[in-house]
Amino acid sequence: MSPATTLRTRGHLVFLGFALALVTLWNVGPVGAGDVWWHLRSGDLILDHGLPTTDPFSWTAAGAHWQLNAWLGDVGFALARRLGGVALLTGFTILAIAAAGTGTYLLARRWGARSWPAATVTSLAMALMTPFVLLRPLLAGLALFPFVILLADAALTGSRRALFGLAALLVLWANLHASFSVGVAVVLLMAFGTAVAHRAVLLPTVVAVTAAVAGLVTPYGIDGYLHALTVRSASTAIEEWQPLDLGDPRGLLVACFAVVMAVCVAWPPPWDQAGLEGAAGGWRRPFWAVVPMLAALVVLSIGTVRSAAFLLMAGTPAVAIAVGRLGLPRLRRWFGARRGAVLVGLLVAWVVVAVPLLPSLAHSGRAGDDVPVLATDAIPAGCRLLNEYELGGFVIDRRWPEVLVSQDGRNDLYGPERLQHQEAILDGTSPDEVDRFGADCVLLHADRPLAAALAASDRWERAVVEGATALFVRSG
């Protein structure tokens, strides 16, 4: 096949590949403060001692019941670090982005989108997902999500092989991360919509029951579902668990996408869509078999912004199908005559944007500038530490068991009361509150008012200032 023929027949895939590569470059580099560190230490703990049932990492919740929401993902992370260091986890990010993008494109094509609209809208959706692409086991859920929809869709049209594949994929997801409940819920809604659209009960019921049972195949059984239902209420103080905020660029972009998707789904109206099913550039699934799932994801994303990544992937087919139905014959003729030149121009633009991002690959696996390595190393062993929420994970990974934290990214373990209490102390100006809390060391942002108050107190010594972080130790 000549290069010209390849561009003519596979140019959309080349475009999608370069777009996903650019999104990947945006999302690799130094590892910042966050959840990945305690996930790594949890994986080490499981490999060395088995699955824990109580919290070993903190002194504020020591001995409390702890249900790991990503035990298999933690093990995978720990094994990767043992084999090749934290830098090897960069490969996980690359694979997750590639899988999410590929699955979303295939879903758009399966539901009737033309090739170029499917590739273009998928690229846009992956770019909008960038704020949600963080190095943690949740990435595995994002990678598996579009394939769960693909397999559920095939199973609902009678494929036994797809039904078994769906069950296997949901079992894997249920053990990798607690976000599996979103996948199960989507399958249930697709089954319900299919039952309504086709006035059939047996096959949709079989698919729904299979998905629900697959989610039980974890060390926690039904508690896996219960944990997923209660974790939202335990996370009210965490930014990514907040409702969609139109004042935040991330929330505004997601809201715009949701509005565009809704317009695309409703055009033409559902009573006029029968003739479009199966047609080129039209829905290949009954309208009512899809819309309950999309509507539920919109509601979920409005209530919890971290769920927006699932909406972006599931909504891509609707937008891509609508774009393909526009026709735009003049644009298509113009593009067809200049396909090669346009793609070369896009490649040049890609190089201009991507080259400045390439150095980030060299820093993959290193601790980011926001990670207080020296301050963490300076914490005295056995000290009762009061720390910032996002710094607890790194302290756990680097200093446990000789240093126990007061909080970290396991917000479902601590609950909103503990987290809000500690935030109030860290955001205050009273060393007496730290005394009453029972802490002997404080690791906090250096611009906190409490940092100035501790520095002025004769009961505290400033041990280390590292970047934007300061460590204070009680005098004597």
Does one domain contain both 299 and 215? yes
Q: Is residue 363 in a domain?
A: no
| Residues paired with residue 367 on neighbouring β-strands, in sequence order | 31
Summary count for the chain: helices (H), strands (E):
21, 4
Q: Is residue 366 in a domain?
A: no
Amino acid letter, residue 342: V
d(CA 383, CA 442): 9
- Helical residues (DSSP H) of 248-391, grouped into ranges: 249-265, 287-303, 308-325, 329-337, 339-354, 359-362, 373-377
Phi, psi (rounded to 5 degrees) for 227 = -65, -40
Residue 307 has pLDDT above 50, yes or no: yes
Domain's final residue, options 323, 357, 391: 357
What tokens appear for 259 in the block? 């509005």
Q: Is residue 288 in a domain?
A: yes
Q: Is residue 6 in a domain?
A: no
Does one domain contain both 329 and 409? no
Does one domain contain both 428 and 470? yes
pLDDT at 108: 95
Q: Is residue 2 in a domain?
A: no
> Length of the chain in residues, anyone?
476
pLDDT at 271: 42
Q: Across the chain, what does the average pLDDT equal?
A: 88
Distance of CA 131 to the CA centre of its chain: 9
Does one domain contain both 241 and 304? yes
Domain's final residue, options 311, 326, 357: 357
Q: Is residue 442 in a domain?
A: yes
Does one domain contain both 273 and 299? yes
Does one domain contain both 397 and 257? no
pLDDT in tens, 184-205: 999 999 999 999 988 889 999 9
Residue 72 near residue 176, CB atoms below 8 Å: yes
Amino acid letter, residue 170: L
pLDDT in tens, 48-76: 999 999 999 999 999 999 999 899 999 99
Model confidence at 278, pLDDT cuts 50, 70, 90, reads: very low
Q: Is residue 328 in a domain?
A: yes
Domain's final residue, options 295, 328, 357: 357
Q: What mean pLDDT do residues 162-176 have?
A: 98
Q: Specify the number of domains making up the chain.
A: 2
d(CA 313, CA 330): 29
* Domain span holding position 335: 11-357
Residue with tokens 């996408």: 257
Does one domain contain both 388 and 421? yes
pLDDT at 8: 55
Model confidence at 37, pLDDT cuts 50, 70, 90, reads: very high
Residue 331 has pLDDT above 70, yes or no: no
Residue-wise burial string across 394-430, b where 16 or more C-beta atoms lie within 10 A, e elsewhere: bbbbbbbeebbbbbbbbbbbbbeebbebbeebbeeee
Amino acid letter, residue 40: L
Q: Is residue 196 in a domain?
A: yes
pLDDT in tens, 256-271: 999 999 998 887 655 4
